């Protein structure tokens, strides 16, 4: 049986938007990129106006407004470009993961083993382990189950890897329960540290 990982763009957008929404690290990067450029421009501008004041020249308010507007516009454009670059990066990671699972292209057998601390996926000559504590969430797509792994990695499991709908549902339920458990433990640790 030939394995194909066909995920349409809408589904990828859902995966990325979820990842962006939940990832504090990615938010920090984008916010930094959004704020650093206007900060630099405003810093240069303030030095210029200090120089003007020291020389007792007239301050042009219109020039100040134009420069501030341009700096804000450039920062917004830069942030949007950064957003789509990160989107490409996450998609690339997922496709690389899919390619690993497609090694040999002809896949005759899938085996998913559930252990106390991790799940193991065997796909002919590919073997992957995912620890529950590293899983962020499970997203069900049209043909695949995507497991989001901290921070930006994804494991793709085709739905046909399961014998029937019941086994697939029980797998997703088990993973979801393990995620909830790990979140409760991490909250307790945070409270204990406080």
C-alpha span between 141 and 178 (Å, rounded): 20
Using DSSP, state whether 84 is helix, strand or coil.
Answer: helix
Where does a domain end: 52, 82, 101? 101
H-only helix segments in the chain: 9-22, 24-54, 61-101, 165-193
Do 66 and 145 reside in the same domain of the chain?
A: no
- At 38 the pLDDT is 66
Do 124 and 85 reside in the same domain of the chain?
A: no
Angle (deg, nearest 10), helices 61-101 and 24-54: 160
What are the pLDDT digits (tens) for 5-58? 455 566 666 666 666 666 666 666 666 666 666 677 777 777 777 676 667 666
What are the pLDDT digits (tens) for 23-33? 666 666 666 66
Structural domain count of the chain = 2
Where does a domain end: 84, 101, 118? 101
Would strands 135-140 and 144-149 be described as parallel, antiparallel, or unpaired? antiparallel
Is pLDDT above 50 for 1? Answer: no
Is pLDDT above 80 for 168? Answer: yes
- Between the alpha carbon of residue 134 and those of residues 22, 116, 148, the distances in Å are 14, 14, 9
- Between the alpha carbon of residue 87 and those of residues 81, 91, 141, 173, the distances in Å are 10, 6, 18, 28
Work out the percent of the chain whose per-residue pLDDT is above 90.
0
Copy the structure tokens of residue 130.
């995912």
> 1 lies in a domain?
no
């Amino acid at each position: 049986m030939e394995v194909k990982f066909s995920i349409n763009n809408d589904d990828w957008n859902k995966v990325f938007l979820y990842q962006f929404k939940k990832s504090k690290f990615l938010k920090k990067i984008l916010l930094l990129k959004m704020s650093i450029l206007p900060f630099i421009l405003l810093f240069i501008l303030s030095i210029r106006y200090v120089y003007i004041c020291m020389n007792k020249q007239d301050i042009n308010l219109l020039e100040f407004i134009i420069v501030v507007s341009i700096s804000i516009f450039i920062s917004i454009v830069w942030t949007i470009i950064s957003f789509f670059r990160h989107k490409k990066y996450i998609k690339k990671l997922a496709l690389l993961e899919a390619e690993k699972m497609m090694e040999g292209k002809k896949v005759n057998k899938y085996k998913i083993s559930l252990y106390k601390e991790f799940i193991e996926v065997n796909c002919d000559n590919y073997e992957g382990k995912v620890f529950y504590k590293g899983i962020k969430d499970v997203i069900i797509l049209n043909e695949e189950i995507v497991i989001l792994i901290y921070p930006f990695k994804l494991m793709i499991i085709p739905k046909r890897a399961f014998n029937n709908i019941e086994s697939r549902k029980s797998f997703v339920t088990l993973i979801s329960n393990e995620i909830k458990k790990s979140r409760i433990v991490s909250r307790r640790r945070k409270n204990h540290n406080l």
